[in-house]
Each structure stands twice: as structure tokens, then as C-alpha cells.
Amino acid sequence: MAFDCIVIGSGNAGCCAAFSAAESGCDKVLVVDVCPQQWAGGNGYFTAGAFRTVHEGLHDLLPIANNVSAEQVGSIDMDRYTREDFLRDIMRLGDGKPDPVLAGAVVDASRDTISWLATNVGLPFMFSYHRQAYAVGGRQKFWGGMVLCTEDGGKGLIAAHQRALAKAKVDMWFNCPAVEITMENGAVSGVVVEKDGARMHLRSAAVVLAAGGFEANSVLRAKHLGAGWERAIVSDGFVLAAALGARQTGDWAGCHSTCWDADAPKDGGQRDLTNQFTKSGYPLGIMVNSSGKRFVDEGEDFRNYTYAKFGRAILMQPEGQAFQIFDAKVIASLRQEEYGDGIVKKICADRIEDLAEKLAEIGLKSKQEFVETVNQFNEAVGRYQAEKPAAWNPAIKDGMSTADLPLSKTNWALTIDKAPFMAVKVACGVTFTFGGLAIDPETAGVISEKTSKVIPGLFCTGEMVGGLFHGNYPGAAGRAAAALMHQV
């Protein structure tokens, strides 16, 4: 059986690549995925469907956002997010280590890709009000550079991709792992898959690796991420690529790991709650470990610039767990999708001492230390406010800090003193890995370790691409890596 293009993986990246191939004139395009059909869409299904892109502000994105009424337009504040902003974010969060050419290619392609996804693929984009904006003084103020998401989050994203691929007559085979990529005369010649219990050689001169990161592979996780990561809650596409001598690059010891509900399933996701296990409200409160101590600057930057590294920070705490603490002043500002009733186990009390008692039942080791931490934090906020009175504003970096604490909270520091108090228990969730394959940014062709040239016919996209992020990343830029395949 022969195809013009075979894509390995049905995630966002694979779907983009397959649609793009069909649109570019390939008659017979096939997507294979090891998962059953009801699990189509890879990690993308479990996300908020957030997309980071360069943009010129409200007027630029208004035509593609489907959730803005005429009355709302006048009350939205949305700064432009330039090529320089996006590139600077990738490079500064990656400590200068990401490949600047690759990052530049992703950034440059980002805005056109959004238009292509909206118009050609049919993704239903909307403004991410609840996640990326706060209502302040009657205005919706967006922050953190990222403003777009898909309607119904990852579920809506994958459903739209599936509709587009069906319309483009792309074949999709599920329960169908790719087990080998074949070569003839120095070029890719096809893929061996397992289908209905038998091995089958499918011929194709173009194969796209879109099999995601290695977060679900406990062996690779332990090997590359190191000790402790077996406690993290979470493809074997790299094995296929290694057999062809593909070059690996990037931060194999790093990954995007976020604050995750400690009570979430330990292996794999839950199709109904998906991204709702994320617990990203910490800029509005504090986080303490089981010794009752703070361990990160919760106000270091906007959430979408810190959440990718705070999961790791939690994992490094005793038992790999922590508690997020909020008081009545901010509880209403927490996202309902993450902190609503029935979404997460909330521990509530009217006194901090009583909250300590309750937390002790679920892992807090030192009640006294916890109470002292909260008291010292409140006193530091008081001192700062007495010296430099400022208005608390979560939509900007308001500078309200606990400057004289050894570990300061540098923005959004409010006292935790108004009952009721609320805590949730969090752990570390690996969302995606940074190490991957070296590619030519212009063609997405995979580079051979031996020749340093592209392996003819082999392409790579999405999370399998290495070199783009290092240590940390600007939230919702993961999906931008899929843009490369659409541009080539």
C-alpha cells in the first residue's frame, strides 16, 4: 500500500502536518496513531487550547475571535505582542540557550499560522478571558502576551482538526503504532506499522514524525530527567528516529512541568477534566511545602512565564507535594475551571491555625512552621504597604511585594488574613518535554547525526522538535512548534 505522505501521531502537530500535506496537493495522506480512536489528538486534547502568537493588538485578532460582542470591544485592553517580544520571551526564559534560528522561524510563522488555522483548518478561536485577563476597573486587561485559545479548549481543538482532516479526505488509522521507518537508497521509503495484529509495510517518500515528547515513557523520563521524576504525574517516536541516526538536540534534562492537582490520576489524563487539573492560581496566594515553608517567589512573573518551572520546584520539595493557600480576598478571582466546586478538593477554615490542623491530616508536617510562615508573610506585606502604598492589580506586575523576606513575593503580595481561608494540595504534572530532534528550520527535515545533513524524506514537527525551549518556556508556545510544518 502506498501513500504520498504518512504522519506518525494524531496530536495537534500531526493534524497540522497532515492537513497541510493534503492542501499542498498530496492525494493520499495517512495519519497513524498507536492510541484508540477515542483517544485521538494526543496531548492536545488535554490542554486549554491556548495559542501564543505575534499580534498587533485587539484590532488584529478581533476578526478571528468568536467571543467578543460589540459592547465588549470598547472595554478590552490588549497590548500588541511583537516578534521581538515573543523571541525575547523564548530566549530569556530559556536562559539564552534555545536555538535562535529555530525560535525565530517559529515566531515568524506564528501569526500567519493562526490565520491559516482559523480560515483553512477551521479552528474556532476565542479570547482567553478567564485565563489571560483580569477585570480591573471595569476593563478586561490581558496580560502575559498570550490571548488566544480554542473554543472548548483542547477538546474543541482536536474536534476541529478531525473535522478538517475528514473533509480533506485524510485517512486516519488508530490502534496502529509505527514500529519502523524504512530507508531505500539513502532516503525514506515508508513506515512499518502494526495493524490488526499484523505488521504491514506502507510505502511513502515522505514521513512526518509528530509522535510527541517522551513524558509518557517512564524509562526515558528516568534516564533524561533524572532522580525524582518517577513521582511526576504524566512516545516512543524517538526510538524510530534513533534507528535512522537522527540527531538529538536541546534540553533533554528539562521539561514543562506545572502545578497539578495532587489527587489527579497518576498515569495518564482524565478525558472529562483534561486541563482542569492544572492549579495555576498561585500568583494570588502563596505556596508552602509540607514543612510549612514557602519555596518559590509566587509573584516572580505572570503565571504563564513561571508555571512551566514551578512544577519542578514542587517535585523537589519533601514528598514532591505542596499546598496553595488563599484567603477570602482572592478566592473569587481564581479560575472556576481549576478551583470550582467538584473540580478540586478544597480545604477550608476560618482560622489559619484551623487550616493548619486540617492540612496536617493530608501531609503538612509542621503546623507551627506553617502558621509562622503566614504570619511573617503578612507582616512583610504590612511593612511594604506602610512604606510604599500601592494598589493591588493582578493584570499588571504591580510591584506589591514582601521585599524584606529572604524569599520575597515580588508582585501581588496581599495579606492572607481574611476568612475563610482555602488550601489545595498540588503535585508536579509533566506536560511536555523539551529535548528532541534536530531539524532544518526552513524545511523541518530531520538532521542526521552522521552527515549533519537532512535525512531525505524524514520530517519532524511539534513536541518532538528539540532546541526550541530550555528549562522554562512562555506559556502556550508549545503549539507554535507545529507551525513549522505548515510553513514548509
Ligand X SMILES: Cc1cc2nc3c(=O)[nH]c(=O)nc-3n(C[C@H](O)[C@H](O)[C@H](O)COP(=O)(O)OP(=O)(O)OC[C@H]3O[C@@H](n4cnc5c(N)ncnc54)[C@H](O)[C@@H]3O)c2cc1C
Q: Which residues bind ligand X (CB under 6 A)?
A: 8-14, 32-35, 42-44, 46-50, 177-178, 210-212, 235-237, 275, 431-432, 462-464, 476, 478-479
d(CA 151, CA 144): 20
**DSSP SS3 for 287:** strand
Residue 410 and residue 380: Cα distance in Å, rounded? 11
By C-beta, is 106 or 325 nearer to ligand X? Answer: 106
CA distance 351 to 180: 60
Nearer to ligand X by Cβ, of 212 and 250: the residue is 212
The CB density around residue 113, as the number of other CB atoms within 10 Å, is: 23
Please count the other Cβ atoms lying within 10 Å of the Cβ belonging to residue 217: 19
Cα-only R_g, the chain: 23
**Nearby residues of 390 by Cβ (< 8 Å), 6 or more positions away:** 398, 399, 400
Specify whether the CB–CB gap between 429 and 260 falls below 8 A. yes
Between 292 and 475, whose beta carbon lies closer to ligand X?
A: 475
> Identity (one letter) of the amino acid at 454?
V
Minimum distance of ligand X from residue 256's CB (angstroms): 7
Specify the residue, 189 or 378, whose C-beta has the smaller distance to ligand X.
189
- The nearest distance, CB 156 to ligand X, in angstroms, is 12
**CA dist., res. 251 & res. 309, Å (int):** 13
Set of cell numbers at residue 142 = 490581558
**In the complex, what is the shortest distance from the CB of residue 402 to ligand X, in angstroms, rounded to a whole number?**
30
- Between 34 and 78, name the residue whose CB sits nearer to ligand X: 34
Task: Give least dist CB 420 to ligand X, A.
Answer: 29
CB nearer ligand X, residue 128 or residue 378: 128
d(C-alpha 451, C-alpha 219), whole Å: 28
Q: Shortest Cβ distance from residue 335 to ligand X (Å)?
A: 13
CB of 213 to ligand X, least distance (A): 6
